[in-house]
Amino acid sequence: MSTGRSVLLTKCVGCHDLKTVLTRPRTPANWVRTVGRMAERQIFGQPITDQEQWAVSTYLIAISPELQSSAKRRREQALRGETSKAALATAITSTAAAGEPAGYDEGAARLLFEATCSQCHETSEVESYPFTSASDVSDLLERMIDNGLDASEEELEQIAWFLSQTFVP
C-alpha cells in the first residue's frame, strides 16, 4: 500500500514541483478535486490508482493546516518587513537631516542594539563588520529586516544612530 507522501513524491512531482503544494494549500474538497483532475490528465508514468488518489489527497489534507499557518506567517513577516523597511528609510532620512535622534541615550541605544541583534547572532559579528559609511549601516539593517528583524521606527533610528556613531570611522 502506497502512502500519500510516497505517491506525491513518485507520481506528482514528475509534472509539478512541490512549490505549488507548499505555497497554495487548499481545502479538503479542493485537494480531492485537484488530485482527481490530475489523475485524469496524467501523461507520464504509471496511472494514479483510485487508492493512490485517496492516499495522496488524505496526505495533502493532513498537511494543509500547517501549510496554511506557515503561509500566513510568511505573509505577516513580509508585511512586517515592508513596514520596518519604510521605518528604516524614515529613520535614516530624519537622522541624516536632523542629526542625533530625539531622546538619544548612547547607553540605552547600546542595550537596544545588543538585545535586538543578539536574537539572531552574536553582536561581535556586527562589531567586526567593516562599516565605511552610514549607507553601510542602512544596507546592513535592511538586510536584517529581510531576514526577519522586526523593529519600530524609533528603535531603528536609535540602532542606526548607535551603529553610525560607534562603528563608522
Identify the CATH number of the domain in which residue 161 sits. Answer: 1.10.760.10
Residue 119 in domain: yes
Summarize the confidence of residues 9-30 as an average pLDDT: 78
Residue 134 in domain: yes
The confidence score (pLDDT) of residue 110 equals: 92
The confidence score (pLDDT) of residue 8 equals: 84
3-state helix vs strand vs coil in the chain, percent to 5: 75, 0, 25
Is the pLDDT score of 96 beyond 70?
no
- Tally of domains within the chain: 2
Domain span at 67: 4-73
| Contact present, 163 and 113 (Cβ < 8 Å) | yes
Residue 80 in domain: no
Residue 114 in domain: yes
Does the pTM surpass 0.85? The reply is: no
Is the pLDDT score of 9 beyond 70?
yes
The confidence score (pLDDT) of residue 111 equals: 93
Domain termination site, one of 55, 73, 91: 73
Residue 82 in domain: no
